[in-house]
Amino acid sequence: MNMPAIISIKNISKSYGGKKAVDGLNLEIQRGEFYGFLGPNGAGKTTTIRMITGILRGDEGEIIVDGSPVSDKNHIAKLLGVVPESRGFYEWMTASEYLYFFANLYSVPKKNQERLITTLLSEVDLLKRKNSTIGTYSRGMKQRLGLARALINDPKILILDEPTLGLDPQGQLMMQQLLKRLSGAGVTIFLSSHLLDEVSRLCSRIGILHQGRLIAEGTVDELKQKTNMKDLTEVFLHLTNA
């Protein structure tokens, strides 16, 4: 028997000032899947992610996450780890204080907090700078801290909106290895990225969004076959008429 999809998006639409950012999108993400979400700028990726996380209300349609509607904030917040597009941080906090703050918001038991935060900071290679204020961090370091925050509640689903943007090659490699490890541990990952090479290496399935509509979906090989192209970059450029 097929397991129900962990994220099920049914016919959602969202308009900004009369212009449709997302137009009747249908999408199903399976449990444990590493899903790549591609699209040119303004295709509606961030809007879709914000609707999945409940931060933005859709105009039409329905989003079900692990059996609950996205409006069930308590349930959804515990399931999801999110690296959003907006990169706001409390610049006056240290990385350590920042993660303790979020650990408390997610009700992580006090006795586990220190070990968890040390592990997370070590995984994103910020342990040595844990007592520096975030204001002194580079953009890449903030990105990595954002990922550590997204993992504070040991999420079943990890949603990332351009997580490697602004990272140096080492940072990108570190983040990709971490995502691979999480995927191997059974975490469902929904990754929006412009780095097609990264997506083709990491993701088991890919969806391409263009002008708010899902124009293609499948594995890299399936997409290459369908379009008769050599690699994902060519597929992407061909489908989005670039």
User: Which of 132-135's residues contact partners 24+ apart within 8 Å by CB, and which partners?
Assistant: 132/94, 132/95, 133/91, 133/92, 133/93, 133/94, 134/89, 134/90, 134/91, 134/92, 134/93, 134/94, 134/95, 134/98, 135/91, 135/92
Q: Whose Cβ is closer to another protein: residue 38's or residue 150's? A: 150
Characterize 26-57 residue by residue with b for buried, 16 or more Cβ atoms within 10 angstroms of its Cβ, and e for exposed. ebbbeebbbbbbbbbeebbbbbbbbbbbbebe
Residues 208-227 that bind another protein (CB under 8 A): none
| Cβ-based neighbours of 41, under 8 Å, separated by 6 or more | none
- The least distance separating another protein from the CB of residue 130, rounded to whole angstroms, comes to 17
Q: Whose Cβ is closer to another protein: residue 24's or residue 101's? A: 101
Residues 159-188 that bind another protein (CB under 8 A): none
From 73-81, 166-174, 191-199, 220-228, span contacting another protein (CB under 8 A): 73-81
- The least distance separating another protein from the CB of residue 134, rounded to whole angstroms, comes to 11
From 49-57, 109-117, 179-187, 227-235, span contacting another protein (CB under 8 A): 49-57
Q: x/- contact string, 77-116, with another protein (CB under 8 A)?
A: xx-x-x-x-xxxxx-xx-------xx-xxxx---------
Counting beta carbons within 10 angstroms of the beta carbon of residue 181, is it exposed (0 to 12), middle (13 to 18) or buried (19 or more)? exposed
Q: Which of 4, 11, 26, 57 binds another protein (CB under 8 A)?
A: 57
Q: Whose Cβ is closer to another protein: residue 96's or residue 153's? A: 153
- Rounded to whole angstroms, the Cα distance separating 101 from 93 reads 10
Residues at the interface with another protein (CB under 8 A)? 14-17, 50, 53-57, 73-74, 77-78, 80, 82, 84, 86-90, 92-93, 101-102, 104-107, 149, 153
